[in-house]
Amino acid sequence: MPDRLQLTTLQGREFQQDQHNLIHMLRHLAALDELCRSLGVSRISGFVDISLLELEDAANLMARETPGEIEADSETGMVLAIEDLVWHSAALGMASLEAAIHHLERGTSSAVDQIDVPGLLADLRLCQKRLEPLEAQGGQFHLSVRNE
C-alpha cells in the first residue's frame, strides 16, 4: 500500500501538487468509498492516479534504483508529463467531497471511528478548499499516490 496521497490540480497548463500528505484519507479510503457509494456520489478512490506507482514498478523491473534518472518534465517537475496523468473534473470531485464532509460533520458515520473523524475532515476540507476555485473554471484534479 502506498504511504503518500497528495492532491494535484490542473487549470489550463498550470500544474500544482499540494505537498500535504492526505494520510487520513489514505487510511480511510475504503470507508470513504462506501460512504460515497451510499450517498450516490463518485467514490474518492476513483480520483486516485497510480501513474507514479506504475512508473516506480517499471523502473524497478528495468533495474533502475529510481525514476529520477530520467529528465524531469518542465511543467510538472516530475518524470511524467501532464498528458501522462489521469485527470478528473474538479466539479465531480467537489460533489463527492461535499457529500462526505456533510455526512461526517453530522456524526452519523459508522464506517469511521469517531476519533479519526477530525483528521479525516481536515484532509477532506483541504481538498475542498483547493478545488473550490477550480470548480467554476473547469479545472481538473487527481489524488496522486506514491511511496516515500
pLDDT in tens, the chain (148 residues): 678 999 999 999 999 999 999 999 999 999 999 999 999 999 999 999 998 888 777 666 665 555 546 678 888 888 788 898 999 999 999 999 999 999 999 986 777 888 899 999 999 999 999 999 999 999 999 999 988 7
Give the predicted TM-score (pTM) of the model.
0.87
Between the CA atoms of 24, 10, 82 and 121, what dihedral angle is there, to the nearest 10 degrees?
A: 0
Q: State how far the Cα of 110 lies from the Cα of 26, in Å rounded to an integer.
A: 18
Do residues 141 and 88 touch, judged by C-beta distance below 8 A?
Answer: yes
Helix axes 90-105, 29-39, angle to 10 degrees: 100
- Single-letter amino acid, residue 78: M
H-helix or E-strand spanning residue 123: helix 117-135
